[in-house]
Structure formats: structure tokens, C-alpha cells
Amino acid sequence: MKMMTRIAAMALAALTAQAAWADKLPLNSISSYLNDLKTAQGSFTQINDDGTIDTGTVYIKRPGKMRFEYNAPNTSLVVASANAVYIADSKSNQPPETYPLRRTPLSLILARNVNLGRANMVVGHDFDGTATIVTAQDPENPEYGNIQMKFTDSPVQLRQWVVNDSGGGQTTVVLGELSTGGSLSNRLFDAPRGRSN
């Protein structure tokens, strides 16, 4: 009797695995979705490396532009534009911290042409029962870290990403409902300046 139960459990596990495999989005569908995503905005919840949580609004304008406006009490502003990422604090007199966009995993989402089929770019392609999870890196510079993106189907939508940076830090961004296809001013993505005296 135990053997029959074990066989039945194994058969059920195999069927479940097949169902999950069938529901996993192919990489070319995800690449097409990202390439078709020109503008988007919506709320987000960010889980920081130290466990703290921030909320705010994200604006995306592909290729190359992204803006994170944080809700109080966080006074930070993060803007990706002109091949750089700027991190500014409205309460600081210091100029914003600046990093090359290509050295961050976000560059993979914001690239002009996303091709997840490129050799050695995708290092993980899984299905968790509800969403497809793709882990991608710059194949020429894996030391820059990676981004783990979560997509749901019907229609394909980006729901979450986790940035694992080169310093070993991890930042999770959970997206609310994204409004896509609207017009976003390029001024939203101007490099921020420190507070003037």
C-alpha cells in the first residue's frame, strides 16, 4: 500500500511539474513584452537590503530612463537617464551620487533591444506556480550583479524585480498596477541636483 501511495505521489509530482513547465513564459515572449513596453508608471514597494521598506511611484520610459519618487519620510530620488543612475537626497546639500547605468542590472530592463536569448545572459528561468522568474546578468560583466524579474501571464506583466548588486546587496521592488502606453515628459528624467542654499 505504501508503494502505491509513493507511486501515486510521484505521478502527481510529475504532472504538477509538467503543468508548471507548460505555464512558464518563454524567454522570447518576455523579451517582446519588454521591447514593447515604452512607457509605464505605477506605485511600488521597495524592500531594502537592511529589511526596511519604502513606497513610492516609479516612471519608466524605455530605452534608458527610469525614475523612483519615494513617499515621505524617505527624501531620496533615483533617476536613470543619459546612461547614468543618479541618487539624490532633497535634504542634502551634496550633489547626487552617480553611477554608470551599464554597471547596474537595471540596464538589462532599460536596454534599447532586450534579447534574453543572448548567450549567458539568463542564468535562471523558473516557474513558481503563479509567475515566471527570470534571472539575468550582463554576459560580458557578470561581476556587475544580476536582476531577478517576476512576470505573470495573460497578459504578460512585470510584477517584481530583485537587484543583486556587485557589492552583495539585495533590493526588491514589488510593482503595483502599472499604467502603460501614456506620454511621459523627458523632464521627469533630468539628472537631479542637490539642494541649493
Contacts for 194 with CB less than 8 Å, ≥ 6 apart: 88, 89, 92, 93, 94, 95, 96
Domains of the chain: 26-189 (2.50.20.10)
Question: pLDDT tens digit string along 52-75?
Answer: 999 999 999 999 999 999 999 999
Dmax (CA) of the chain: 80
Three-state DSSP class for residue 95: coil
**pLDDT tens digits along 5-34:** 343 344 344 433 434 444 899 999 999 999
pLDDT of residue 1: 44
150: left (phi over 0), alpha (psi -120 to 50) or beta: beta
d(CA 95, CA 60): 23
- Indicate whether 131 pLDDT > 50: yes
Top pLDDT among 144 and 196 is at: 144
**All cell numbers assigned to 50:** 537592511
C-alpha grid cell, residue 89:
537626497
Locate all alpha helices (DSSP H) within the chain, ordered by sequence.
2-23, 27-36, 107-110
Give me the pLDDT at residue 119, please: 87
